Structure 1
Amino acid sequence: MGEGKFVKVKCECGNEQNLFSHTTTEIRCSSCSEPLAHPTGGRAVIHGEIVEELG
């Protein structure tokens, strides 16, 4: 347990946003409101491009 990491994800609109890789809620882009990630009960499905793992 505790395997999740924070990642920087780039949306199709070009906005970059930090989120948790095992998020329990849907995450939308703060710029265009497109979905960036949704929960699956474990590792979230990331819809944008992972630019960097933050730790």
Structure 2
Amino acid sequence: MAGNFYSVECPDCENEQVVFDKASTEVACAICGHTLARPTGGKARIEGEVTETVEAR
């Protein structure tokens, strides 16, 4: 099973960054370092606002 890529907006600095929905490591914002996604063993917990699906598989 493949996952999806989402464009996520950082709640602190409003930077948009692409995040994989099954991330196996923490994903931090490239600008301010706020954690955008945390791994849970399956789908990652997204901690920003998902603005769009970049690539659905």
Identity of aligned residues (%): 46
Q: Deviation of residue 44 (structure 1)? A: 0.3
Cross-structure match for 2:42: 42
Deviations for 1:12-40, whole angstroms, at most 9, x for unmatched residues? 11100001010001000001001000111
Q: Deviation of residue 8 (structure 1)? A: 0.2
Take 1:9 and 1:42, find their aligned partners in 2: how far apart are those partners?
18
Q: Which runs of 5+ in 1 are unaligned?
A: none
Cross-structure match for 1:6: 5
Q: Which runs of 5+ in 2 are unaligned?
A: none
Give the ranges of 4+ consecutive aligned residues of structure 1 lying more than 3 Å apart after TM superposition. none
Aligned partner letter, 1:20:
F
TM-score with structure 2 setting the length: 0.90
Aligned residues: 54
TM-score with structure 1 setting the length: 0.93
Cross-structure match for 1:53: 53
Counting only pairs closer than 5 Å after superposition, residues 13-28 of structure 1 correspond to structure 2 as 13-28=13-28
